Amino acid sequence: MKKFLNIFYVLMFLVVAASVSAAASFSMNDLSFGAFDQIRGQDATATLTVTNNGDQQLAINLSSKLPSNYNVRFSQSVLTLAPGASNDVTVTLYIPLSEASDKTAISGGIYAVSNAAGVTRTSAVYITTVSELEIYKATLELNNDGDEHSVSASSTYNKDTKAGTPLKITVYVRNNFDSVADIDISDINIDIRSSGELDLDESDSFNDLSYGDKDKISFTTDIPTDAEDGDRYDITMKVTGHDQNGALHTDTRNFEIEVQRTSHEITIKNEALSPQVVSCGGRATVSATLDNTGRYDEDKVHLLIENLDLGLSQRFYEMSINKDDTLKKTYTFNVANKTAPGQYDIILTSFYDTNTDSDTKVLTLTVEPCTLPTTPVVVQPTNPVVVQPNIPSVVPSNGATVAYGTSTFTDSPLYVVLLVAAVVVLLVILIILLVKFVF
């Protein structure tokens, strides 16, 4: 019997506790601190509204479960609420220098416990701070024409956005820290994404940015050749980087591209000239692809290739190209020998309905002067100059004066000796001259 009574009391206690818990109830809102212009290293406040939703008076204690570096404070941490009553509590916290710029959930939250058994609540805490890394401009270039068009955030661009059009998107980024803060941002990365069939899912990065510095990154793709009129592609750009305090800075920008097809359009693509430089009657080949980027099939497509100064006028007649199809044409021609040196623009023009022009492209041919062969210069050998020897006069070795009479000097033995010596000297001189100038 006693055992039965104990079980009965336990059951009654649980029923009473359950009824009290069911009658005791309160609610609290989540808290968001800061904004997209919130500076780090400062206090931020938010309002916590506590409401007694039950039918009995509650005493509620508030506390913070956030990390201690947030230094959370309450304007009132102990509340007494009558049934149906509410109370606003100002919650203040410190935003660390390392806080990320995106709206970030902080672990822990604000915890509230009431005097009713088992009735507690936790409010989530979010903090948003300014991103000093900013996408301050984005541009769109079409058809590789070098003409950049600025695209503002959340805008739609639809000028000359035809099927198959090459696109170049450039993202311009800046470090907005000033000279007072003097903070670098590093590990900068840019992601670009697109919706639909537009092939744009890339990432790139660049070096650190000091305060006030700028940089840019470009991405390229093509509008699908089978894109229909009115197709839209959402493009989202996101840049991230960390400052020297460890804070993550993030900025995003998006815009939209809308395809606009004309009723009839024959686009000239992949035009080429090979070679681009010729001389003296050389040959060159023009090639191009015709792309039907209009809304309808075409059966009277023409292509004209011409330059009157080169005597060039070639027309391809009555071609059929279905919608989204392509057709490649080539033409080879000779450059006349008498063509003056210079640069010649070769004009390519596409037509539909026989004579309605659609697209024009220009290729430049350079004609160089003819190079004539040079005649080799023959150098004639020079004849050697023969130097006549200067024969010295014969003087007696004893210094005596030569006497003339019946007995002459030529009859003397000395004359014979001198004569032989002179002959030997002459022979030596002749041999030297022969060796030097003949052999």
Residue 21 pLDDT > 50, yes or no?
Answer: no
CATH architecture, range 133-258: Sandwich (2.60)
Q: What is the pLDDT of residue 167?
A: 95
Give the residue-averaged pLDDT of 213-219: 96
Neighbours of 23 (CB within 10 A): 13
Q: What is the pLDDT of residue 376?
A: 58
Specify whether the CB–CB gap between 193 and 201 falls below 8 A: yes
Q: Could you tell me what percent of the chain has a pLDDT over 90?
A: 66
Give the residue-averaged pLDDT of 155-175: 93
* Residue with the two structure tokens 């022009």: 357
Predicted model pTM: 0.64
Q: Which residues pair with 322 in a beta bridge?
A: none
Taking the domains of the chain in order of start, what are their residue ranges? 26-128, 133-258, 266-368
Q: What is the pLDDT of residue 379?
A: 55
Specify whether the CB–CB gap between 158 and 233 falls below 8 A: no
CATH architecture, range 26-128: Sandwich (2.60)
* Residue with the two structure tokens 């009824």: 19
CATH architecture, range 266-368: Sandwich (2.60)
CATH topology match: 133-258 vs 266-368: yes
CA distance 305 to 307: 7
* pLDDT tens by residue, 282-314: 999 999 999 888 888 999 999 999 999 999 999
* pLDDT tens by residue, 386-439: 445 554 554 444 444 444 444 555 556 676 677 778 878 888 887 887 777 665
Residue 267 pLDDT > 80, yes or no?
Answer: yes
Q: What is the pLDDT of residue 437?
A: 67
CA distances from 264 to 120, 202, 301, 359, 360 (A): 69, 34, 11, 11, 15
Q: What is the pLDDT of residue 400?
A: 46
Residue 11 pLDDT > 50, yes or no?
Answer: no
* pLDDT tens by residue, 92-138: 999 999 999 989 999 999 999 999 988 999 999 999 999 999 999 99
